[in-house]
Amino acid sequence: MRREVIGRCPVCSEALEVTQLTCPACNTTISGSFKMCKFCSLTEEQKHFAEVFIKNRGNIREVEKELGISYPTVRGRLEALIRALGYPVDSESGHSGDGEQAEKRKQILDILARGEISASEAVRLLRNLK
């Protein structure tokens, strides 16, 4: 049974690097320093969300139904996923507040995206900002 490669270090959460590739058919081995794909560094929850989002062709209502979560939760997970893939998220996120609160929200979502806190802990922290 083959396991999926992990993309983040279980100790410090930094991105892992591939140093050896092997062909299972002819046993050829290539050594070096290889960058992993962006999707490899996502958490299992983020990968699952991305799969559901793509399967439902980006229809947020369908994603809500399938995952049993609210619209704001879908949007939050989507923004966290976008950030985790290294892309900026529009400043227009439907939240009011000054730049400092927006930055704090971003930090919490980044920590969540890295898998350092649970979704429920992120919700608690975000609610405490209000």
Higher pLDDT, 9 or 68: 68
pTM exceeds 0.75:
no
The answer to whether residues 31 and 56 belong to one domain is no
Statement to judge: residues 34 and 46 lie in one domain: no
**pLDDT (tens digit per residue) in 72-84:** 899 999 999 999 8
**Residue 98: pLDDT above 60?**
no
Note whether 31 and 77 are same-domain residues.
Answer: no
Residues 120 and 74 in one domain: yes
Full residue range of the structural domain in which residue 18 is found: 1-38
3-state SS, the chain, equals: CCCCCCCECCCCCCECCEEEEECCCCCCEEEEEECCCHHHHCCHHHHHHHHHHHHCCCCHHHHHHHHCCCHHHHHHHHHHHHHHCCCCCCCCCCCCCCHHHHHHHHHHHHHHHCCCCCHHHHHHHHHHHC
Which pLDDT value is given to residue 92?
45
Q: Is 51 found in the same domain as 90? A: yes
More confident residue, 94 or 9: 9
One domain for residues 114 and 76: yes
* Residues 101 and 55 placed together within one structural domain of the fold: yes
| Residue 128 vs residues 53, 65, 110, 123: alpha-carbon distances, Å | 28, 27, 17, 9
User: What are the pLDDT digits (tens) for 26-59?
Assistant: 999 999 998 888 888 888 899 999 999 999 999 9
